[in-house]
């Protein structure tokens, strides 16, 4: 093949393309079907979230965190409120912690279901797996709707707790779902994990060694797919993760298939956490009584919209379905953050994309991009 | 004789008898046959259009069922008029030619793809004597006309001045050429048994002896797979792989030009199914039932059943990568089909040389071919290293320890097929 010279051929995957998961653009230079160069072009969904947040109060910023990673609004909320709580040194009531963890794990199942389904879609399984995944995700979204009235942009977490307690019929419905889901997962594992074509399409594709993964600061299922057992839920526990028992799923090959396997395994681990959490969750308040820092100047009554954290900075990180999502907040003592920065896992997980795609084909590039599981709202923010 | 009586006696469906009937009415020789042919052509055209419309609805509803959806259910009762509405929409849309497109080729491609696919239906016997063109090289005609698809797809991809389209058409050329060889070799086996390429002969041979599917399981499998490639169906829809190259060679086509591609694709599917039915499943015969109900309804029933397999695979299977698909053709199917042709040749030779009766020969051939088919299929797959891929497909490791590294890439990740 080396003697066969052909003209380089530039093809744009995106910004309008069925499988870029939004408006992401991948500029591929090709030699026939083989990729020789891959450039990422980002910014098509840039909404200037970080700057906008500097003009709004701390509570007003929570809805922004829904809209960065819109497939996993709960974890966005959670990371942000954790950062603000760290800044304000608020102690969150125990029940709120458990509720946060339950919601985050439900969100992880919903998000991973989408990721696995869309990955199967990228391999060409024409909507069937993703539609089945949607079926389960819908039930989780129903639970979210019961808890907070919204299904996608949830805005459930609050600084000092959660917006409201779950209604009494929530727990039975959640338990019913937990009983139902393992059967569905077994079905997916049966149909997808050993599917000849899925294995042929994803084994040995887009390999990222642990060294490369760590060098590119990759996190989440991508890092674990490369064989590095790293999970912030265990390494730096937040909410109530230190009180439940669960395993970290790790792949061994670092390829697309292992990322997919890790996500499937994590959905089962999330179920394990949820089963324990629903039993162990204590009763009590779900919102902390916030102290003097929230008193408005001039002796006005407490206005929860306008907290004034002390001057300082805080960083909080959690394990979102896509990886380490971190919020870095600098306060100058005013009701709005001085600096609001999001360490978004989608954006950082994309950095080794060129490394993984060069040398493979367009078909592989699409599958590799699917395995990174980006949400463009979070890439561009 | 009145039309009603003709209908009752089933002669209406018989093009040959129809011509004789017209002759009886006093028309000259040539005129009668031209008229009968025209009637048959119009009937086939109408069938093609209506069948495609019906199957668009069926496919959408069936795939929706497989996907926990409802499918089209708003236009007309149970959404039955949805394909009609879609067709009307396509007709009324502006016919756009993209900037930089090669105008003539761009417009010619949909026609070139559509007309030959229709022509294929001329050679299939729809019932006894009910064949529009009783060619003595029917199988050859089928392969040749189906091959016209290939340049048409390339014209479409090349002329539309779009890179996705070009990639799609490049893939198509590579795929179709590879799988046409498989098709030829697969169809050679029935022809060897029957010693004729005339479709009607093949059907009557099966009526006399046995359906060729019973003595040719391997060939049928190869032909159905090659058919999926030929008609761009999952798992081989690489030419228009939506998740990779948008819509492949017809990315830039809209309106009725796209409609032609769409319809041509369905018709190609029907043609493949018709070939499978005629060559492997006894055509319009069904164990004497054809005495009671019209042969064409049996033929169509079988045709739709075979076509359903393709709908099913579309709803369930992921897509292979183009190199894997090519590897599957050249490394796996090609040796198997060549071996199959050799085996069939030897069997037919032994049968003829020893002047065995068909009741001695056919059961033995059926058993031998089934056994050899399974052995060859499994053995060749094993030889090519199949199974390694799925064995390597182990689950994730579960651990409680943070910071450990479990990276051990499995050796031999390159599966053979």
Say yes or no to pLDDT of B136 above 60. Answer: yes
By C-alpha distance, the chain A residue nearest B314 is A126
Query: For residues A367 and A218, is the Cβ–Cβ distance under 8 A?
Result: no
Cβ A248 vs Cβ A263: under 8 Å: no
Q: Which residues of B touch A19 (CB under 8 A)?
A: 242-244
B-proximal residues of A, 23-52, CB under 8 Å: 32-33
Structure tokens belonging to residue A25: 């653009």
> Kind and range of the H or E element at B309?
helix B295-316
A360 interfacial to chain B (CB closer than 8 Å): no
Burial of A212 (0-12, 13-18, 19+ CB in 10 A): middle
CB contact under 8 A, A363 and B244: yes
Domain range list for chain A: 9-380
Q: What is the pLDDT of residues B160-185, one digit of tens each?
A: 888 888 888 888 888 888 888 888 88
Minimum-distance CB partner of A230 among B246, B394, B402: B402
Q: What is the pLDDT of residues B348-407, one digit of tens each?
A: 888 888 877 777 777 777 888 888 888 888 888 777 776 655 555 567 777 777 777 777
Q: What is the pLDDT of residue A328?
A: 92
pLDDT at B408: 75
Measured CA to CA, the distance from residue B265 to residue B256 in angstroms comes to: 14
Structure tokens at A268: 């089962």
What mean pLDDT is reported for chain B?
A: 80
Sign of CA dihedral A195, A201, A204, A205: negative
Measured over the CA atoms of residue B265, residue B269, residue B270 and residue B271, the dihedral's sign is positive
CB spacing of B167 vs A362 below 8 angstroms: yes
Task: Give pLDDT, residue B34.
Answer: 76
What is the rounded CA–CA span in Å between residue A365 and residue A376? 17
| pLDDT tens, per residue, chain A with 381 residues | 455 667 788 888 878 777 777 788 888 888 877 888 888 888 888 888 888 888 888 888 888 888 888 888 889 899 999 998 888 888 888 888 898 999 999 999 999 998 888 888 888 777 788 888 888 889 999 999 998 888 888 888 888 888 888 888 999 999 999 998 899 888 888 888 877 788 888 888 888 888 888 898 998 898 888 888 888 888 888 888 888 888 888 888 888 888 888 998 899 899 999 999 988 888 888 877 775 445 445 544 444 557 788 888 999 999 989 889 999 999 888 888 898 899 989 889 888 888 888 888 888 888 888 888 888 888 888
Q: Which residue of B has its CA nearest to A256?
A: B393
Q: CA-to-CA distance for B36 and B14, rounded, in angstroms?
A: 9
The reply to whether residue B246 touches residue A17, judged by beta carbons under 8 angstroms, is yes
Give B126's Cβ-side CA count (13 Å radius).
24
- The answer, for A197 touching chain B at a CB cutoff of 8 Å, is yes
How far is it, in rounded angstroms, from Cα A167 to Cα A145? Answer: 11
* Cβ of residue B354 closer than 8 Å to a chain A Cβ: no
**Tokens found for residue A97:** 């912690």
CB B348 within 8 A of CB B192: yes
Chain center to CA of B111: 19
| Residue A313, strand partner residues | A330
Which of A224-238, B22-36, B289-303, B312-326 is the most confident on average? A224-238
Distance from CA of A175 to the nearest CA of B (A): 23
Which contiguous run of DSSP H or E holds residue B399?
strand B397-399
Rounded Cα distance, A234 and A242, in Å = 7
Q: Token pair of A181, please?
A: 């889901």
Tokens 């068909």 map to which residue?
B358
Strands A9-13 and A25-31: antiparallel
Nearest to B232 by CA among B260, B272, B259: B272
Tokens matching residue A171:
């727990």
Cα-based distances in Å from A232 to A95, A134, A239, A321, A323: 21, 27, 11, 11, 9
- Encode pLDDT of B392-402 as tens digits: 556 777 777 77
Find residues 123-142 of chain A whose CB sits inside 8 Å of chain B: 123-128, 131-132, 134-135
What is the CATH code for A9-380?
A: 1.10.645.10
Q: How many CB atoms lie within 10 A of CB B400?
A: 11
Q: Do A104 and A74 meet the contact criterion of CB atoms below 8 Å apart?
A: yes
Q: How far apart are CA A77 and CA A320, in angstroms?
A: 10
Give me the sign of the Cα torsion angle B225, B227, B230, B234. negative
Share of chain B above pLDDT 70, in %: 88
Nearest partner of B290 among B133, B135, B129, B136, judged by Cα: B129
Percent of chain B with pLDDT over 90: 0
Higher pLDDT pick, B246 / A249? A249
Yes or no, beta carbons of B167 and A235 under 8 Å apart? no
Section B182-207 average pLDDT = 86
| Percentages (nearest 5) of helix, strand, coil residues in chain A | 50, 15, 40
**Band of pLDDT at residue B239, cut at 50, 70 and 90:** low
pLDDT at position B410: 65
Assess contact for A127 and B314: CB atoms under 8 A.
Answer: no
> Cα angle vertex B234, ends A225, B86, to 5°?
120
Nearest by CB: B314 against A122, A126, A195: A126
Q: How would you class A186 by CB atoms within 10 Å of its CB: exposed for 0-12, middle for 13-18, buried for 19 or more?
A: exposed
How many other C-beta atoms lie within 10 A of the C-beta of residue A312?
14
Dump the DSSP string for B160-184: TT-HHHHHHHHHHHHHHHHHHHHHH
The C-alpha atoms of residue A45 and residue A23 are separated, in whole angstroms, by: 7
Q: Best of B243, B409, B415 to disrupt the A interface by mutation (most A CBs within 10 Å)? A: B243
């Amino acid at each position: 093949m080396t003697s066969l010279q052909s003209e380089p051929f530039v093809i744009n995957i995106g910004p309008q393309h069925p499988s870029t998961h939004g408006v992401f653009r991948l500029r591929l230079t090709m030699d026939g079907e083989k990729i020789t160069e891959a450039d990422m072009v980002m910014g098509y969904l840039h909404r200037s979230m970080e700057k906008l947040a500097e003009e709004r109060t701390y509570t007003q910023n929570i809805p922004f965190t829904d809209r960065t990673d819109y497939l996993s609004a709960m974890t966005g909320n959670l990371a942000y409120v954790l950062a603000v709580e760290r800044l304000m040194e608020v102690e969150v009531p125990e029940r709120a912690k458990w509720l946060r963890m339950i919601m985050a794990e439900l969100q992880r199942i919903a998000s991973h279901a989408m990721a696995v389904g869309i990955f199967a879609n990228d391999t060409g399984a024409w909507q069937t797996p993703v539609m089945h995944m949607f079926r389960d995700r819908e039930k989780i979204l129903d639970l979210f709707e019961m808890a907070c009235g919204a299904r996608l942009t949830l805005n459930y977490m609050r600084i000092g707790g959660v917006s409201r307690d779950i209604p009494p019929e929530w727990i039975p419905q959640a338990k019913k779902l937990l009983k139902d889901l393992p059967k569905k997962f077994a079905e997916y594992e049966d149909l997808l994990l050993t599917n000849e074509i899925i294995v042929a399409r994803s084994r040995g594709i887009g390999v990222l060694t642990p060294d490369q993964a760590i060098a590119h600061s990759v996190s989440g299922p991508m890092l674990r797919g490369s064989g590095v057992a790293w999970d912030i839920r265990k390494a730096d526990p937040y909410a109530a993760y230190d009180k439940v028992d669960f395993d970290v799923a790790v792949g061994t090959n670092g390829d697309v298939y292992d990322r997919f396997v890790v996500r499937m395994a994590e959905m089962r681990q999330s179920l394990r956490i949820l089963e324990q959490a629903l039993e162990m969750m204590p009763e009590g308040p779900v919102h902390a009584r916030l102290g003097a820092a929230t008193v408005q100047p001039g002796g006005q009554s407490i206005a929860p919209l306008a907290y004034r954290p002390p001057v300082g900075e805080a960083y909080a990180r959690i394990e979102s379905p896509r990886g380490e999502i971190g919020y870095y907040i600098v306060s100058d003592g005013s009701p709005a953050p001085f600096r609001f920065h999001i360490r978004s896992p989608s954006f950082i997980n994309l950095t080794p994309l060129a490394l993984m795609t060069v040398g493979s084909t367009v078909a592989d590039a699409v599958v590799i991009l699917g395995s990174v599981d980006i949400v463009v709202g979070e890439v561009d923010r | 004789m009145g039309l009603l009586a003709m209908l009752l006696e089933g002669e209406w469906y018989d093009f040959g008898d129809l011509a004789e009937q017209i002759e009886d009415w006093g028309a000259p020789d040539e005129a009668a046959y031209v008229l009968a042919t025209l009637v048959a052509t119009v009937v086939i055209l109408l069938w093609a259009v209506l069948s495609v419309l019906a199957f668009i609805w069926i496919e959408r509803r069936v795939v929706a069922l497989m996907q926990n959806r409802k499918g089209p259910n708003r236009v007309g009762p149970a959404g039955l008029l949805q394909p009609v509405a879609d067709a009307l929409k396509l007709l009324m849309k502006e016919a756009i030619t993209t900037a930089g497109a090669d105008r003539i080729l761009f417009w010619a491609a949909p026609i070139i793809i559509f007309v030959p696919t229709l022509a294929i239906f001329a050679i299939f016997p729809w019932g006894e004597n009910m064949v529009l063109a009783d060619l003595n090289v029917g199988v050859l005609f089928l392969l040749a006309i189906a091959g016209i698809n290939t340049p048409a797809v390339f014209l479409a991809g090349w002329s539309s001045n779009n890179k996705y389209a070009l990639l799609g058409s490049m893939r198509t050329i590579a795929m179709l050429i590879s799988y046409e060889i498989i098709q030829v070799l697969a169809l050679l086996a029935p022809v060897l048994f029957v010693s004729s390429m005339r479709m009607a002969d093949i059907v009557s041979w099966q009526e006399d002896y046995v359906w060729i599917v019973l003595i040719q399981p391997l060939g049928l499998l190869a032909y159905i797979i090659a058919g999926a490639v030929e008609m761009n169906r999952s798992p081989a829809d690489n030419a228009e792989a939506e998740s990779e190259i948008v819509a492949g060679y017809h990315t830039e086509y809209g309106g009725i030009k796209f409609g032609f591609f769409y319809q041509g694709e369905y018709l190609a599917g029907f043609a493949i199914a018709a070939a499978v039915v005629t060559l492997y499943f006894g055509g319009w015969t069904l164990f004497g039932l054809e005495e009671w109900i019209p042969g064409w309804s049996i033929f169509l029933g079988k045709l739709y059943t075979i076509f359903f397999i393709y709908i099913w695979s579309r709803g369930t299977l992921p897509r292979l990568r183009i190199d894997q698909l090519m590897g599957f053709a050249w490394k796996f199917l090609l040796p198997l089909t060549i071996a199959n042709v050799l085996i069939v040749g030897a069997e037919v030779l032994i049968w003829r040389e020893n002047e065995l009766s068909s009741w001695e020969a056919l059961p033995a051939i059926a058993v031998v071919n089934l056994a050899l088919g399974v052995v060859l299929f499994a053995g060749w797959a094993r030889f090519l290293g199949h199974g390694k891929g799925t064995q390597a497909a182990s689950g994730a490791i579960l651990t409680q320890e943070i910071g450990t590294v479990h990276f051990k890439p499995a050796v031999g990740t390159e599966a053979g097929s």
